[in-house]
Amino acid sequence: MKAGCSIVEKPEGGGGYQFPDWAYKTESSPGSRQIQLWHFILELLQKEEFRHVIAWQQGEYGEFVIKDPDEVARLWGRRKCKPQMNYDKLSRALRYYYNKRILHKTKGKRFTYKFNFNKLVMPNYPFINIRSSVNLYLVTHTHEYIYMAKI
DNA sequence: GACGGAACCA
DNA sequence: TGGTTCCGTC
């Protein structure tokens, strides 16, 4: 009996980071708990055990490098129950983020992307200060997402 | 590798 | 809506 894929796979808390329920909910589909790719990217980014796979680029704020594209794709495929996932497909999904202003490409740098933090911060939350804060709160302007990423 | 159109799916 | 799959093009 294969374990297969569960409908929702909340990351276990085991000494790590607990994501609140609302972090998985969308405005358009309240019942949906499908994790978004950029959520997943941030999730990997904040965990030290994946630093050899994906990591923040020091120096440039919000910029990250995919050090092992195959592994990131494999992990994403496992989460989404898409065993045929690869970097070619994953990167297509990342490219759709360009127009949504969630991400943009760092041209010239291989496997390097950058979060558009300036576009993600919401004016409704004046207590959020990117520069002084260790935890960065990301809020898209299109959805009710709030996310925390340790930078 | 990176890009983006196009068809398709839940 | 947010990808997934496929692919031609640079």
Mean pLDDT by 10 residues, chain A (151 residues): 46 40 46 78 89 92 94 98 97 96 94 78 39 40 39 36
Largest CA distance in chain A: 51
Q: What is the pLDDT of residue A131?
A: 40
- Dihedral pair phi/psi, residue A73, rounded to 5°: -65, -40
Q: What is the pLDDT of residue A6?
A: 52
- CA torsion sign, A148 to A55 to A103 to A28? negative
> Is the distance between the Cβ of A96 and the closest atom of strand B smaller than 7 Å?
no
> Is the distance between the Cβ of A28 and the closest atom of strand C smaller than 7 Å?
yes
First to last CA, chain A: 40
Q: What is the pLDDT of residue A11?
A: 45
> Is the distance between the Cβ of A57 and the closest atom of strand B smaller than 7 Å?
no
**CA A141 → CA A93, A146, A150, distances in Å?**
19, 10, 21
What pTM was computed for the model?
0.73
